Amino acid sequence: MSDYSEFTRFRQKMNERILNAGNLDIKRFFALDDRVYQPGNLDRATKEMLGLASSMVLRCDDCIRYHIIQCREAGVSVKALFEVFSISLVVGGSIVIPHLRRAVDFLEELEKNAGGVK
């Protein structure tokens, strides 16, 4: 099973479990997280690129993977993703490099196995 398939399967399964637990605060947070990425003054692609850059600086590999998928679904090109990666590296410093490596590996798998998701 590919890393992409495993990531999306596990994420969906656990999100369902978490949301079915019935905690109102968690449900509200998940809803807010979904809502802030909807188009507004900024389009969805821009918001996803901001999420990706923030996730890289915060060094959250799950978040990075999620935002790479969302960016590609929103039509962000691979070249644009590499610009986001470079901004993240400048903002976050060399500690971002291991996450950059994993991000590029995941992106390559995504492009190979999912056709860029689009």
The CATH number covering residue 31 comes to: 1.20.1290.10
For residue 77, which of 45, 55, 105, 53 has the smallest C-alpha distance? 45
Would you state the pLDDT for residue 4? 86
Instruction: Domain count for the chain, please give it.
Output: 1
> What is the domain range of residue 77?
3-114
pLDDT tier for residue 117 given thresholds of 50, 70 and 90: low
What does pTM read for this prediction?
Answer: 0.90
pLDDT digits (tens, 9 = 90+) for 22-81: 999 999 999 999 999 999 999 999 999 999 999 999 999 999 999 999 999 999 999 999
CB 85 within 8 A of CB 100: yes
Within 10 angstroms of residue 28's Cβ, the number of other Cβ atoms is 10
All residues at 6 or more sequence positions from 101 whose CB lies less than 8 Å from its CB, including other chains:
none
Would you state the pLDDT for residue 1? 47
